[in-house]
Amino acid sequence: MEAHLAEHSLEEGGNRRNGLSCKTVRSSAGSFELEAPRDRNGTFEPQLIKKRQTILTDELDSKILALYGLGTSYGDISSHLQDIYGVEVSAATISAVTDKLLPQIAEWRSRPLESIYAIVFLDAMFFKAKVENKMVTKVIYNIMGINRSGHKEILGFYACESEGAHFWLGVLNDLKARGVEDVLIACIDGLKGFPEAIQAAFPHTEVQLCVVHQIRNSIKHVASKNQKAFMVDLKTVYQAETKDLAEYNLLRLEEKWGEKYPMVLKSWQNNWDNLTTYFKYSSDVRRLIYTTNPIEGFHRMVRKYTKTKGAFRPGVYVASVFLDNIIIQLISL
């Protein structure tokens, strides 16, 4: 009202407040009396609850979903609605509103997919869930694909007790059931048995292990006084121009550091074929596939909205991550 009066202060005859109007508004939390300010010229339009609007259910639900989608806790949502509308909304009511999205999310998660994806990134993230009044750790398997048009697309979310190659095989088979016939390159971390699971589902797919994960795992086993020198030599391997040059530099790395850190060099040798797939491609493609950073960036986006949740309820904790406007934003990356 103050902004409206200031905006029209130069009008002939001026404009000023003219008391309050009262009406009964019905909402999903019950009915309440609402007082709205009036101006003398009758030109003021309330922004939250419009003139002659007496039913708030849809508007209240949409605002609850929007607030929850931005990562706002149940308690804070209730406080905001109390400040805005003067109505108390319990946690049970908020939960009932958010549960309305479950069928929509289930439909999205089972939607048909394209037949071919150029690159698919697969990674997992962990959340706390309350099961039988106990806090347990749950895993969400996330899949991001790059289609033939070069656009990113979140293909699906899958929940499990823990990360494992066996469950990943089931995830990949679900992608096949939803229409995916082939994947050119699959970018993954170093989970044991993961490449074999991919080959079982998509025999012609090339696997690229995350080089950044491999480097991090390697440097953990190198003494701090040698890490700087070791990294200088290691860069000549993964930053080589060709695979042949990378193999030659790996041999030199083994000659210099093999006696001190045999397990580190053995890890590179055992995973060499899947670590060096990116050498087949141009520099632009190499930068995209040698690491799983694209999907880890997606994980950081999800954490932005879920960091206020201490734990998710069983059955809906997956859906809770991607409510309302969040699910729209994430799907349309």
Chunked into runs of 10 residues, the chain (333 residues) has average pLDDT values of 80 79 78 84 82 75 79 83 77 80 81 95 84 79 91 86 76 93 92 87 94 93 94 95 95 94 94 94 92 89 75 50 43 40
Which structural domain, as residue segments, surrounds residue 39? 2-100
In a domain, 6, yes or no: yes
pLDDT at 161: 67
For the chain, what is the domain count?
A: 1
* Whole-number pLDDT of residue 317: 42
Confidence at residue 320, expressed as pLDDT on a 0 to 100 scale = 43
Which is nearest to 110 in space by CA: 177, 181, 170?
177
Q: Provide the pLDDT for residue 322.
A: 41
Instruction: Determine the Cα–Cα distance for residues 58 and 316; give it in Å rounded to an integer.
Output: 22
pTM over 0.85: no
Residue 143 within any structural domain of the chain: no
In a domain, 318, yes or no: no
**Residue 29 in domain:** yes
19 assigned to some structural domain: yes
Q: Which residues make Cβ contacts (< 8 Å) with residue 257, sequence separation at least 6? A: 226, 230, 233, 264, 265
Q: Tell me, yes or no, whether 290 lies in a domain.
A: no
Rounded to whole angstroms, how far apart are CA atoms 190 and 218? 12
Instruction: Give me the pLDDT at residue 73, please.
Output: 78
In DSSP terms, 30 is beta-bridged to 27
Phi, psi (degrees; rounded to nearest 5) at 130: -100, 115
Residues 56, 54: Cα–Cα separation, whole Å:
6
Rounded Cα gap, residues 199 and 293, in angstroms: 22
Query: Residue 332: what pLDDT?
Result: 38
**Strand order through the sheet with 116-131:** 152-160, 134-146, 116-131, 182-188, 206-209
What letter represents residue 314's amino acid?
Answer: P
Say if 163 falls within a structural domain: no
Closest CA to 165 of 135, 119, 124, 133: 124
Give a yes or no: residue 311 inside a domain.
Answer: no
